[in-house]
Amino acid sequence: MRPEHQTDEFETQRPALLRLAYRMLGSLAEAEDMVQEGWLRWCQADCDAIDNPSGWLRRVVTRLCLDQIKSARRRRETYVGTWLPEPVVDAPDPELLADNLTYSLMLALERLSPLERAAFLLHDVFDTPLEEIAATLDREPASVRQLAVRARRHVRGERPRYPVDPEEGRRIAQAFFEAARQGDAAALTSLLAADVSVRSDGGGKVIAFPNTITGAAKAVRLFCGLAQKYAGRIELLDLVTVDGQPTVIARAGDTVQATVLDLSDGRIAAIYVMRNPDKLGRIGHRPS
């Protein structure tokens, strides 16, 4: 294979490899590192002897991610406060969204073992043949099938029952921002599900509440308290979608934050507030 053809082949596969690595790791920066390492190995391989380049590259990147997950989980043991995946804004063209994973499901994947996570993503999300997954994970096909079944069972409650209509999502996100900015308890109560949960990730870099807030009453008190604290210093920067879920990009005082809203039956069922500046530097970057 000529060098230029070798490069073209890899660049054709790069978007899918980046999506896979991001879904495996929950970090776009780490995903880019894994894909770059995959590129180096591709350059060193005898590409003319590889019958299925996409499968070969998928296998290499998956294995790199499995190794990376081990060190990533060790780092998260000392992570300050709640850890949330890096939010990545959706591509503007829906046809470029190659998978249907919500931000909530990304967080649920953290509960899986590395092998379960890989099996679920490769089988259920990226439609990889079972035999290829078995070779990638060095397991028998029957074992891989069981890994995928267990993973599916663990994350079943987080799978979206229906896609969020973009206009409806934007309307709710706008209403939530205004209610939270003004500290309007009645408006917040009308928007939140009774068992809503709120999580915040500051990474030890900025102030964030360390534990999950559960229940509408507690969440309303939280946002009303923040409205008083930041009176007149809360600014809306943008309304976007992250993994198909409406997201408010705002500035509270001197801190920019991304608030991802998980909707269910027209109400906000979960709220994820990303305040860690290390995870917001490329909020506009699109892995697709």
Q: Check whether residue 7 and residue 150 sit in a common domain.
A: yes
288 domain-assigned: no
| CA–CA distances in Å: residue 243 to residues 85, 98, 102, 104 | 11, 11, 5, 9
* Res 157 pLDDT > 70: no
* Res 164 pLDDT > 90: no
Q: What is the pLDDT of residues 209-249, one digit of tens each?
A: 889 999 999 999 999 999 999 988 999 999 999 988 999 99
CATH of the domain at 217: 3.10.450.50
Q: Check whether residue 36 and residue 146 sit in a common domain.
A: yes
Q: What's the predicted TM-score (pTM) here? A: 0.87
Q: Check whether residue 11 and residue 43 sit in a common domain.
A: yes
- Cβ–Cβ under 8 Å, residues 188 and 198: no
Q: Span 57-79, mean pLDDT? A: 88
Q: Check whether residue 13 and residue 119 sit in a common domain.
A: yes
Q: What is the pLDDT of residues 101-149, one digit of tens each?
A: 888 888 889 889 999 999 999 999 899 999 999 999 999 999 999 999 9
136 domain-assigned: yes
Q: Which amino acid is at 5?
A: H
Which has the closest alpha carbon to 274: 165, 252, 263?
A: 252
Which of 158, 176, 201 is the last residue before a domain boundary? 158
- Cβ–Cβ under 8 Å, residues 85 and 27: yes
Tell me what percent of the residues of the chain surpass a pLDDT of 70. Answer: 91
Q: Check whether residue 29 and residue 123 sit in a common domain.
A: yes
How many structural domains is the chain composed of?
A: 2
Q: Check whether residue 154 and residue 68 sit in a common domain.
A: yes
Q: Check whether residue 82 and residue 176 sit in a common domain.
A: no
Domain membership of residue 244 as a residue range:
166-279
Distance CA 78, CA 253 (A): 27
Which of 121, 139, 158 is the last residue before a domain boundary? 158
- Cβ–Cβ under 8 Å, residues 194 and 265: no
Which of 109, 133, 158 is the last residue before a domain boundary? 158
| Triad 116, 117, 122: Cα angle to 5° | 100
Q: Check whether residue 124 and residue 194 sit in a common domain.
A: no
pLDDT of 49 reads 84
* Res 265 pLDDT > 70: yes
CATH of the domain at 66: 1.20.140.160
User: How are strands ordered across the β-sheet holding 267-274?
Assistant: 213-214, 192-201, 267-274, 255-264, 245-252, 234-242
174 domain-assigned: yes
262 pLDDT band, cuts 50/70/90, is very high
